[in-house]
Structures are given as C-alpha cells and as structure tokens.
Structure 1
Amino acid sequence: MLKIDNINVYYGSIHALKGVSLEVNEGEIVTLIGANGAGKSTLLKTLSGLLKPKEGSITYLNSSIAGKPAQDIVKAGISHVPEGRRVFADMSVEENIELGAFLRKDRAGIQQDIKKVYGIFPRLQERRKQSAGTLSGGEQQMLAMGRAIMAKPKLLLLDEPSMGLAPLMVKTIFEVIKEINKEGTTVLLVEQNANMALSIANRAYVIETGSVILSGTAEELQASEEIKNAYLGGH
C-alpha cells in the first residue's frame, strides 16, 4: 500500500532522515520505534505532505505522493494524527469532529460516521457540546483520532497517541487502534511505548538518528535482546 524508498529529508542543514526505506501492506499495523529525535515524527510529516523529501520516492497505492500538497494526500486517503493532538480548543467537540470531514460531500455518510465516532468514543458524545480545550489529555487524543476517522482514511498515521496519558487511557487508545484496524484501516504508528506498540503491531521498524537500523515482525523485535535492552526496559 505504501512504499518509501531511500528518502532523505532535511530541516535546514540538519539531515533528519537518511536514506529511509520501508513499506506498509494493506491491513497491517506497522510501528516505528526509536528514541526521541530519531526522525519518527519527521517521517510521518513527510508522508502527509508537511515536509518534502530532498531525494527518494514515496509511493502510495501505486502513485507517487512525495512532495504533494497535504490536502491532496488527505484526499487520497491518508490521515495524520499529529503528536500533541492539536485539537481546536475554542470549538466544540462536535465541531472538531465535523472538521475531519471537510473534504467530503456526502452529508448522509458524514452523519453516519459522526455516529460511528461516538460509538467508538462514547465519552466524546457525552461532551459533544463542550469546547475541546476543556477536555482531559486522553479525551483530546480520542477527539484527534475521531476527527481523523471522519476523513475515511485508508491509511492512518498516528504520532505518539499514548504520550502523557494515564495507563488506563493508554489501554483504551490501543484497543481503539486495533478496532479501527479491524474495520479495514491500515495503521502506521509512531509510539514511545514500544511494549504497547509491539503488542498490537504486525511488523516494526527501528529508527535511530534518521536511519532504519532494524526491521522485522513484532514478535521478532519483542524477542530481540538488543531491542529489549534499548527500548523495552530490559525485560
């Protein structure tokens, strides 16, 4: 579904991604593991059109999307839930959700999908008239994911969905990621909590200082001593 081949991305003079190649097959959950500053968020921003690669190719459903405008990439079926959630604080929960569908014209379908989002996240329905800024961190993460679902993505890019959340909320968010995937959305997940990420992923890539240093099935990486010591708290 997605094939990244040898991309190089710079922030000014900083070489943030160095010849990164990876692929995501339809229906998979693929996770990117790595320390802060390894280049994981940069990769997602490049995929969603917020950054342009200097070299290399990005192919999505057999078309090149490298350097395309972000709105064209959303139209093509890729939604990005950025790190830090980025909800519109002064707008209501429901207005935030509706914004996710801004490129769609199918009114009946939009209403149906709002119901679907409330089915997945009942707490958002309870708070639908509240302004988004009054929600807890976990609720804002739900809202950011709900908004992304409204674009009907074929591929969902999730950047650090568990960051700063209480353990119980982390569990909920990961259950939802599995649910969204089961319903047919492919997921590329960047996650600091490597244990959690590997527990739901099919495959994983490890990124260090802008390069992919290891890849394999989630089981292989969970069993690797090197990964255990570096990212899984050594147990």
Structure 2
Amino acid sequence: MLKVEGINVYYGNIQALKGVSLEVNKGEIVTLIGANGAGKSTLLKTISGLLKPKQGGILFENQGIGGKAAQGIVKMGISQVPEGRRVFANMSVEENLELGAFLRKDKAGIKEDFNKVYEIFPRLKERLKQQAGTLSGGEQQMLAMGRALMARPKLLLLDEPSMGLAPLLVKTIFRIITEINAAGTTILLVEQNAHMALSIANRAYVIETGRVVLSGSAQELHASEQVKMAYLGGH
C-alpha cells in the first residue's frame, strides 16, 4: 500500500533522514521504533506531505506522492494523528470531528462515521459540546484519533499516541488501535513505548539517526538482543 524508497529529508542543512526505505502492506500494523530525534516523526511528516523529500520517492497505492500537497494526500486516503494530539482547543469535540471530514461531501457516510467514532470512543459522545481544550490528555488523544478517522483513511499514521498518558490509558489506546486495524484500516505507528508497539504490530523498523538499521517481524525484533538492550530496558 505504501512504499518509501531511499528518501533523504533535510531541515535546512541538517539531514534528518538518510536513504530511508520501508513498506506497509494493506491490513498491517507496522511500527517505527527508535530514540527521540531519530527521525521517526520526520518520516511521518514527509509521508503526509508536510515535508518534502530532497531525493527518493514515496508511492501510495502505486501513485507517487513525494512532494504532493498535504491536502491532496489526505484526499487519497492518508490521515495523520500528530504528536502531542493538536486538537483545536477552543472548538467543541463535535466541531473537531467535523473538521476531520472537511474534504468529504458524502453526508450519509459522514453521519455513519460519526456514529462509528462514538462507538469506538464512547467518552467523546458524552462530551460532544465540551471544548476540546478542557478534555484530559487521554480524551484529547481519543479525539485526535477520532478526527483522523473522520477522513475515512485507508492508511492511518499515528505519531506517539501513548505520549504522556497514564499506563491504564496507554492500554486502552493500544486496544483501540488494534480494533481500528481489525475494522480495515492499515496503520503506521511511531511509538516510544517499543514494548507495547511490538506487541500489536505485524512488522517493525528500527530507526537510528535518520537511517533504518533493523527491520523484521515484530516478534523477531522483540526477541532481538540489540532491540532488547536499546529499547526494551534490557528484557
């Protein structure tokens, strides 16, 4: 579904991604693990059109999207849940969700997706008219995910969904990610919590200083000594 081929991405003169290649197949959960500043978020931003690769290509369903405008990429079926949630604080929960569907014209489908989001996140339904800025961190994460789903994406990019959440909520968010995947959405997940990410993913890539240094099935990486030492606290 997604093919990233040897992309180089720069912030000014600093090279953030160095010849990164990866693939995501339809129906998979693929996770990117790596330390802070390794280039994981840069990669998601490049896929979603917020950054442009200097070299290399990105194909989504066999169409080149490297350098395409972000809005066009959303239209093609890629939605991103940004790091730090980024909800529209002064707007209600409902208005935030409506914004997720702003490129769509199919009223019946939008209504159907509202109901789906409320099924997945019953807590959002209880807080429809509440300002998004007054929600807890976990609720804001649910809203950011719900908003992305309102675009009816084929591929969902999740950037650090567990960041700053209490352990119990982290479990909830990961359970919901597997449910969204089981319902037919392919997922590319960037996550600091390597243990949780590998427990739900099909495959994984390890990124260090802008390069992919390891890749394989999630099980293989979970068992790898290198990954254990670096990302799983040695066990």
Question: Normalising TM by the smaller chain, what interval?
Answer: over 0.9
Q: TM-score, normalised by structure 2?
A: 1.00
CA distance in 2, matches of 1:170, 1:129: 25
Amino acid in the other structure paired with 1:38: A
Shift of residue 112 of structure 1? 1.1
Match of 1:40 in 2: 40
Give the unaligned 5+ runs of structure 1.
none
Match of 2:73 in 1: 73
CA distance in 2, matches of 1:116, 1:20: 35
Equivalent residue of 2:50, what SS? coil
Match of 2:193 in 1: 193
Match of 1:145 in 2: 145
Root-mean-square deviation (CA, aligned residues, Å) is 0.4
CA distance in 2, matches of 1:26, 1:163: 26
Match of 1:120 in 2: 120
1:58 maps to 2:58 = yes
Equivalent residue of 1:220, what SS? helix
Give the unaligned 5+ runs of structure 2.
none
> Once the two structures are superposed, what CA deviation does each residue of 1:86-115 show, in whole Å capped at 9, x if it has no partner?
000000001001110000001111111111
Match of 2:132 in 1: 132
1:17 maps to 2:17 = yes
Equivalent residue of 2:105, what SS? coil
Match of 1:215 in 2: 215
Q: TM-score, normalised by structure 1?
A: 1.00
> Number of aligned pairs?
235
Match of 2:100 in 1: 100
> Once the two structures are superposed, what CA deviation does each residue of 1:99-149 show, in whole Å capped at 9, x if it has no partner?
100000011111111111010000000111100000000000000000000
1:165 maps to 2:179 = no
Match of 1:184 in 2: 184
- The percent identity for this pair of structures is 80
Equivalent residue of 2:57, what SS? strand
CA distance in 2, matches of 1:79, 1:145: 9
Equivalent residue of 1:83, what SS? coil
CA distance in 1, matches of 2:93, 2:103: 19
CA distance in 1, matches of 2:27, 2:115: 23
